Amino acid sequence: MNIKSVLAASTAVMLAGPVMAEPTVEVLHWWTSGSEAQSVAVLQEQFKAEGGTWTDMPVAGGGGDAAMTALRARVLSGNAPTAVQLKGPAIQEWYEETGLADISAVAEENNWADVLPAQIAEHMKCEGQWCAAPVNVHRVNWLWGNKQILDDNGIEMPTTWDEFNAAAEKLQAAGITPLAHGGQSWQDATIFETVVLGLGGPEFFQKALIDLDPEALNSDTMKQVFDEMRIIRGYVDDNFSGRDWNLATAMVMNGEAAFQIMGDWAKGEFLAAGKEPGTDFVCAQTPGTGFLYNVDSFAFFELDGEEKQQGQALLAKLIMGPEFQKTFNLNKGSIPARTDIALDDFDSCAVESNKAMTAGAQNGSLLPSFAHGMALRGAQAGAITDVVTAHFNSDMSSDDAVQQLVDAVANSM
């Protein structure tokens, strides 16, 4: 460098004032479907607009199993990402294992405690300090239907599992695949938990999948749940194995199947394809009552470097920003985690979701999703999912499945 450019460079620094670290984040997440990518892009844009540098680390695989494996590998090799999509008890598990950055200053400055439902706020805390930031509330127990197919076949959205079975038989007789499903273990578990809720009711769900009460696990009701799972297995097409959830949603969209049982991230896909609720597709709670919630959130590892710490603080602040919570959730199919966002621009399914959540909080049927890592620690959730998948993909009897469930849960403690 000659003297002239040295001087020019130092003048530039002087003009710019004291050197501020530029907020930087590397964000590990599993939002790779069309609507998911569109949703996370909102955050990325806002982060960049605030002068930040975003490095994206998407790990494909619905439900996040692959992302969590990638996360573990990164942490074990001493290279933790600045921010990670993390939710439910996994937040506290990581906190215990490695520590997580304390974002209480951001949370307090922005009054998170005043705008979040207490139950959600609780998930975001580690030993009293804020250690995660929530982006949304997804409802898991949704049934999606292709309006045209249902109308053509004189079928109403079922409100009991018997009605669901009757509708499915009718569709099958007409040569239509009743249920679009992706045979991945988290999707099997998603159906399973809606059947547990529907056949057993909220109290049974609480006992079986949250309290892991041996009596509930080893009950006739649980046997009936596996009976229904076996029936449902008969309603999926031959190519269901390994299919991604959004491809199953596309089957309903394109008239290749009548129904899908999936959380309302499926609605994000319908909307991204320009489909209208009530016109092209219909939403209804899966047979039964209650609200299985799945709250997506981000947590931050304790890392050195001012630019990383500033990046974490900025990201946490943006995630809980009213504007972001609205735009993100319009794309994602969920509703805002903040209770002070008007839902005027949201569709009828979102409004219905919000109503059910409020009712659920009042009558005790607002329950954390087991299949989406909100209810149990990893070992227990994994043990149950393994049994559910093994049953779904074999001719295992319901009696054997119940026994395996009891044993697997006991062994996972």
Tell me the C-alpha distance between 88 and 167, whole Å: 35
Query: Which member of 25, 26, 28, 31 binds ligand GAL (CB under 6 A)?
Result: 31
Burial of 41 (C-beta count, 10 Å sphere; 0-12/13-18/19+): middle
Q: Which residue number, 138 or 317, has a Cβ lying nearer to ligand GAL?
A: 138
Which helix (H) or strand (E) segment holds residue 297: the answer is strand 297-300
Rank residues 260 and 310 by Cβ distance to ligand GAL and give the closer one: 260
By beta-carbon proximity to ligand GAL, the closer residue of 65 and 256 is: 65
Count CB atoms within 10 A of the CB of residue 22: 12
Q: 161 or 328: whose CB is closer to ligand GAL?
A: 328
Residue 296 interacting with ligand GAL (CB under 6 A): yes
* CB-nearer residue toward ligand GAL: 258 or 381: 381
**One residue of 46, 187, 286, 294 binding ligand GAL per CB under 6 A:** 294
The correct pick among 52, 63, 81, 117 for binding ligand GAL (CB under 6 A) is 63
Q: For residues 77, 78, 84 and 88, what is the CA-based torsion angle, rounded to 10 degrees?
A: 80
User: By the 8 A CB rule, do 383 and 412 touch?
Assistant: yes
The correct pick among 23, 27, 36, 144 for binding ligand GAL (CB under 6 A) is 36
Q: Which of residues 362-401 bind ligand GAL (CB under 6 A)?
A: 372
Pairing assessment for the beta strands 24-29 and 53-58 based on DSSP bridges: parallel
Segment interacting with ligand GAL, rule: CB under 6 A, options 8-16, 62-70, 225-233, 403-411: 62-70
Which one of 59-67, 90-98, 269-277, 383-391 is the stretch in contact with ligand GAL (CB under 6 A)? 59-67
The residue type found at 62 is G
Alpha helix stretches (DSSP H) within 153-305: 161-173, 185-205, 214-217, 220-233, 245-253, 265-272
Q: Per-residue string for binding with ligand GAL, 131-150, x by CB under 6 A?
A: -------x------------
Strands (E), 20-86: 24-29, 53-58, 83-85
State the residue number with the nearest CB to ligand GAL: 62
From the CB of residue 72, how many other CB atoms can be counted at a distance below 10 Å? 12
Binding mask 261-290 for ligand GAL (x = CB under 6 A): ----x-------------------------
Region of 28-36, 152-160, 203-211, 318-326 interacting with ligand GAL (CB under 6 A)? 28-36
> Where does 67-197 show beta strands of DSSP type E?
83-85, 125-126, 129-130, 132-134, 138-139, 142-146, 177-179
- Tell me which residues touch ligand GAL (CB under 6 A): 30-31, 36, 62-64, 138, 245, 265, 294, 296, 372
